[in-house]
A and B are shown apart, each in its own frame.
Chain A
Amino acid sequence: MNPEREAWKALEENAASLLKDNFADHVMRVSRGPTDAAWQQLRAHGAAQIRPGLADRVMRAIRGRIEETSPFGHLALGALTVALCMAAVLFHHNRQYRIQEERNVAEWQQLASEAQQYFGFMQ
């Protein structure tokens, strides 16, 4: 055998020794892609995450939500909101009215004292 051929053979053998025994099987598996069995396992793993009694929990949650949003609840919430808004408006109105009145009284007092000073000066 000529040296070049021998070198090639050694190279091939070295490269081949890097491959595992069942290399062909692995290549076939990869080229085929995930098997139905793998998909089934995946879905089964997902299904296994559910604790027993899911249906009961769902039904309870739905009932809870229905109770939470009963017509009476809506009405009460609406009435409370209206009452709070009215209270806020009344409070604001009263406060503005009081401030305005105090300002008017102060102005009248100032006017009265100025008038008094003026008439006192005339006399």
Chain B
Amino acid sequence: MGALRSLTVSQQVGLLFVALFGALTIVTIIAFTRTLRDRSDAQLADHEQFKRDLRAVWIGAVLFWVAWASGAFVSTLLFGVVSFLALREFVTLTHTRRGDHRSLLLAFFIVLPMQYVIVATQKFDLFTVFIPVYVFLAIPVVSAFGNDPQRFLERTAKIQWGIMVCVYGMSHAPALLLLDLPDYKGRGAFLVLYLVLVVAIAQIAQEVASRRMRRRPAARAISRSFSWRAWGVGALVAGVVGAALYWATPFKPIPALLMGFVAGGSGTLGEFVMKALKRDAGVRNWGGKASVTGAVGLLDRVAPLCFAAPVFFHSVRWYFGL
């Protein structure tokens, strides 16, 4: 590990990408050879689901590589676009009315770009309060001018919630790029990668664990697969992977483990919350199948990141007393 620690930043990150793409290639080849065998319909359906997930991971990995190779500005822009697409899907799933039109325009075309501009210009004081304070107050004002009292609180709350998760939560990931950590200049890209990796691994580990263990679900009406034991396994695996990556982070091994645990655990809880939301919206499909409105499941995939990023961001800041 000492040798790894002494490498330059680009060598470390390059190494990590080589490992990531290598692992993905191996998994893809194995998945392909398995398609050559005869299987039952249930297995085929499982396999289709797996293929969709694998494709999403590939797309994510390539996007990350592009973002890392082209610097902080492009990464921030990229997260902004993902934020936009996620918010679009969120708004599609919630029932807004005509009177919400102006508030939605405000959310999409003013709040969202501004939040990312604030991130890019590193105004962290404003960054933490802009949405929770100013936008929180501005949205109901604009909505009230929409002149429609029916279910007013409910509609406004939904828009605010969408902005909080899809814009505010997500914007904490690129904000990591710009954190000024001691002895860690220019390595923010790695922190983002670290976050995304542990969150993804927590999800995968939890999924595998819930299949293997078949525990009693913690909330059957919302998710048949979510159990506390599986959640714990997911978060723990994320922590272990996080600790294994400590050489490229600003943390020591034990804090790296804790960081991985916290980020992974909050990510899978975020996924759980999104399941509740989709159940409420009446969407049965989960994970990449096109649904009624053509919502393609981006929200499912980025929600864990939206929940994990703020928690992780502030953990890092507290840890370094920033």
> Is this pair of chains taken from one and the same complex?
no
